[in-house]
């Protein structure tokens, strides 16, 4: 369980987060939803211990997170960013097994885990010999997901993992993620600005607006009992597909 209490953060005198308090239960998928600049990525990085808040505190499983270099929670957290954050000079496999190697996991175990994960995320194992530049955007994200999952993390932090993908790949990866989340029952915190993605993947959704939480609840809660007109406005902002009848002959 992750508990955030009264988290505030400024960047060059500009408030990014204001007094954010939030409790995220284990074994669920929590979506941090909001427009660009609402503070959702900053919040994710504070949870990971990559950045210290100006005030307030984070506890993970009851232990206070103290930001440090390298990240103190790296052992129990998997992390993945929009572009995947794969290192271009390493092959996909080297990217995936980087930390396991650094921590001295035997080669046989690494091989077994690679096979297991590549079938889980749906990537041909042969592709793992390639460098990131030789892979498609979707393949890169699957490799990044493998890297995030490799050490069986208790928490999975995903920062707009589908942000750079075209709609078809995005849809495929969303399905993959849903299967993975259900199979692993890991605690997932996923940052996105896509309402459909949030509704599809999230057990809970936290809608952020200008550094504050507008509403926290299930998608149904947000639709049926919006706490603020902004909530409804955000949920309906995505343009629906036009009806066939509207398109004329």
Partner 1 sequence: MNRLRPLILLLSWLLFITGTALPSKAAPPPSSRKIIVAAKPFTESYILSEMLAQIIDAEGEATAVRKFGLGGPTLVVDGLKAGELDLDVSYTGALSHLFLPQTPNPSRAELLTALRSHGLLLSESLGFNNTYAIAVRTAMAQTLRLANISDLIPHHTLRGAFTPDFLNYDDGFYKLQQVYGVALQSIKPMQHSLAYQALQSREIDLTDAYTTDGALPQFELTLLKDDRGFFPTYFAVILIRAEIAERFPKTWQALRKLEGQLSEAQMTAVNAQVDVHKREVSAVAREFLVQHKLIGNPRPPTRGAVLDEGLWIATAEHLYLVLSALLLSCLLGVPLGIVAVQFRRTGQVLIAVTSLLQTIPSLALLCFLIPIMGIGAMPTIFALFLYGLLPVAQSTTAGLLSLDSRLIETAKILGLTRLQRLRLIELPMASLYILSGIKTTAVINVATATIAALIGAGGYGRFITSGLAMNDVRVILKGAIPTALMAILFHALFEQLSRWLVPKGLQTEPARSP
**Residues from 114 through 133 that contact partner 1 (CB under 8 A):** 130-133
- Minimum CB–partner distance for residue 119 and partner 1 (Å): 18
Q: Which is nearer to partner 1, 104 or 242 (CB)?
A: 104
The reply to whether 136 sits near partner 1 by the rule CB under 8 A is yes
The reply to whether 29 sits near partner 1 by the rule CB under 8 A is no
The reply to whether 168 sits near partner 1 by the rule CB under 8 A is no
Which residues are CB-neighbours of 213 under 8 A, at least 6 positions away? 20, 21, 22, 206, 207
**Taking contact as CB under 8 A, which single stretch among the options 63-71, 113-121, 171-179, 197-205 is the one that binds partner 1?**
63-71
Residues 74-103, mask of contacts with partner 1 (x by CB under 8 A): xx-x-x-x-x-x-xxxxx------xx--x-
Task: Look up tokens 């066939």; give the residue.
Answer: 244
Task: Look up tokens 């993908």; give the residue.
Answer: 165
Q: Which is nearer to partner 1, 47 or 231 (CB)?
A: 47
User: Around 78, how many Cα atoms within 13 Å sit in the side-chain half-sphere?
Assistant: 27
- Minimum CB–partner distance for residue 24 and partner 1 (Å): 18
Task: Look up tokens 């999975």; give the residue.
Answer: 156
The reply to whether 172 sits near partner 1 by the rule CB under 8 A is no
Q: How far is residue 163's CA from residue 177's CA, in Å, rounded to a whole number?
A: 14
Which residues are CB-neighbours of 228 under 8 A, at least 6 positions away? 214, 215
Q: How far is residue 148's CA from residue 197's CA, in Å, rounded to a whole number?
A: 20
189 with 47: CB under 8 angstroms? yes
Which residues are CB-neighbours of 124 under 8 A, at least 6 positions away? 118
Q: How far is residue 95's CA from residue 134's CA, in Å, rounded to a whole number?
A: 14
Judged by CB under 8 A, the residue of 13, 36, 62, 70 near partner 1 is 70
- Minimum CB–partner distance for residue 3 and partner 1 (Å): 20
56 with 6: CB under 8 angstroms? yes
Q: Which is nearer to partner 1, 52 or 90 (CB)?
A: 90
- Minimum CB–partner distance for residue 247 and partner 1 (Å): 32
Residues that bind partner 1 (CB under 8 A): 45, 48, 50, 69-71, 74-75, 77, 79, 81, 83, 85, 87-91, 98-99, 102, 130-136, 138-139, 147
């Amino acid at each position: 369980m992750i508990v955030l209490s009264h988290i505030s953060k400024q960047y060059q005198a500009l408030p990014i987060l204001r007094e954010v308090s939030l409790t995220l239960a284990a074994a669920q998928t929590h979506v941090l939803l909001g427009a660009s600049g609402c503070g959702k990525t900053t919040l994710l990085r504070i949870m990971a211990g990559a950045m210290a808040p100006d005030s307030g505190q984070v506890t993970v499983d009851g232990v206070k997170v103290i930001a440090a270099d390298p990240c103190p929670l790296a052992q129990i957290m998997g992390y993945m960013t929009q572009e995947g954050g794969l290192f271009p000079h390493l092959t996909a496999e080297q990217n995936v097994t980087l930390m396991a190697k650094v921590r001295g996991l035997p080669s046989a175990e690494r091989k077994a885990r690679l096979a297991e994960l590549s079938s889980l995320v749906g990537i041909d194992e042969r592709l793992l010999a390639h460098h990131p530049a030789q892979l498609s955007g979707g393949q890169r994200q699957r490799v990044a997901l493998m890297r995030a999952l490799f050490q069986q993390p208790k928490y999975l932090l995903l920062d707009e993992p589908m942000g750079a993908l075209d709609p078809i790949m995005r849809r495929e990866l969303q399905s993959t993620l849903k299967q993975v989340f259900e199979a692993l029952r890991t605690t997932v915190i996923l940052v996105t600005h896509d309402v459909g993605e949030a509704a599809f993947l999230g057990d809970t959704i936290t809608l952020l607006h200008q550094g504050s939480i507008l509403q926290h609840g299930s998608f149904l809660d947000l639709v049926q009992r919006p706490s603020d007109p902004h909530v409804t406005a955000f949920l309906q902002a995505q343009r629906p597909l036009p009806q066939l009848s509207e398109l004329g002959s």
